[in-house]
Amino acid sequence: MVLDDLGEEERESKGKGGVLALFACQNDPGMCDDWEPRSGGNRALLFPLDGLGPIPLPEGDEEAPLVLGDVRAVVLERESEDDYDLARAAWAARTERPKLSVLGQLGGRPAWIQADETPSCPSCARTMPFIVQLEEGPDHSTSMNFGGAGSAYAFACEPCGHALFLWQC
C-alpha cells in the first residue's frame, strides 16, 4: 500500500508518504496473538518512497517463477460520507452490491468493532496516525483471517518510521 494514495489533504497532515507493508500470521486461528499490535503475530513495516524500486530477476536462474495463488484486485473509490459505516452502506446502495464487497478505508477515522485501541508510537510516544482499515472480504480464498467478520487497523508514525497493525472481531 502506497501512503500517497491517501490524497493531498491527508498526505499534508500525515507526512510525505511511503509504502506500508502488512504481514499477519495465518496459522490455525488462535495459534498466534496476531490481534495484538506488539505480539509478534503480525508486523507492519513502513518504507520511505526514496530508494525503493523493483528487484531485478537474477540472470541465468533456470527455476520457474513463483506463481501466486488466488488474488483479488481492488479499486479505490471515494465516498463523500465521512463515517465509514455510513459510507459502506451508501456505496452498497449506489452499486447494488453487498457491503461485504467493501474491503476497507484509507485514512479517515477507524470504525472500531470493540474499544478504541489507537496505539502510541514506541519512539516518540505520540498517538500514531490512522492509515488504513481492512475488512476480511467476501471470498474465503482471498481474504485475511481477522477472527471471523473482523477488521484490521494500521497506524504509522512517519517521522519515527514505525508502523503497527492490529485487528478486532
Structure confidence at residue 35 (pLDDT) = 72
* AA identity, residue 6: L
Query: pLDDT truncated to tens, each residue of the chain (169 aa)?
Result: 455 445 555 544 445 678 888 888 776 666 777 677 887 778 899 888 887 887 777 777 666 666 666 777 778 888 888 899 999 999 999 999 998 888 899 999 999 999 999 999 999 999 999 999 999 877 777 777 787 888 999 999 999 999 999 999 8
C-alpha cell at 82: 465521512
Quote the strand ranges of the chain, DSSP E: 18-24, 42-48, 104-106, 130-135, 151-157, 162-168
Structure confidence at residue 105 (pLDDT) = 92
